[in-house]
Amino acid sequence: MGVKKPLGKGNKSKAQDKETQIIRQCALCETEYDQKGIKTIEKKEGVSLMHCTCKTCHGAVLVLLASTPVGMTSVGMITDLTVKDIKQLKGKDPITEDDVLAFHQFVQQKQPSFLKYISDS
């Protein structure tokens, strides 16, 4: 009979602990994730959206983790978005083809001075 491992520090549920155990290492440098670097952004009906940041290379991955009748499945995407960025963008209307064309026309018209429109100063 094996020894049970503790769930970890804090008030994590067993489900949260299983989720973070599935996401073990950075896709970029293969360093094992620090549990502090894994943040749950949203959780609905057996599906979790999580953001993982590597303590070594500081790369980030957005992971969609789903619990199914046959187990857990995940889809990950390397990103430069922070947790704050994702929370701000979540729920916004998607960019349409018309939006892209309007932006293209704007850039074409303002090409010489375009940088002044996107710079911070």
Is 56 within a domain?
Answer: yes
* Residue 121: inside a domain: no
In a domain, 68, yes or no: yes
Query: Domain range spanning residue 62?
Result: 14-92
Q: Is 4 a member of any domain? A: no
- Encode pLDDT of 8-30 as tens digits: 444 455 555 555 556 788 888 98
Residue 109 in any domain: the answer is no
Contact call for residues 32 and 20 (beta carbons, < 8 A): no
Say if residue 56 is exposed, middle or buried (CB neighbours under 10 Å; 0-12, 13-18, 19+).
middle
* Number of compact structural domains in the chain: 1
pLDDT tens, position by position, 93-116 = 999 999 999 988 888 887 667 667
Residue 22 lies in a domain: yes
3-class secondary structure per residue, 36-65: HHEEEEEEECCEEEEEEECCCCCCEEEEEE
Residue 8 falls inside a structural domain: no
Question: Per-residue confidence at 3, pLDDT binned at 50, 70, 90?
Answer: very low
Of 78, 38, 77, nearest to 59 by C-alpha is 78
Residue 47 lies in a domain: yes
Which pLDDT tens digit goes with each residue over 47-87? 999 999 999 999 999 999 998 888 888 899 999 999 999 99
Residue 74: which of 86, 83, 62 has the closest Cα?
Answer: 62
Model confidence at 118, pLDDT cuts 50, 70, 90, reads low
More confident residue, 31 or 1: 31
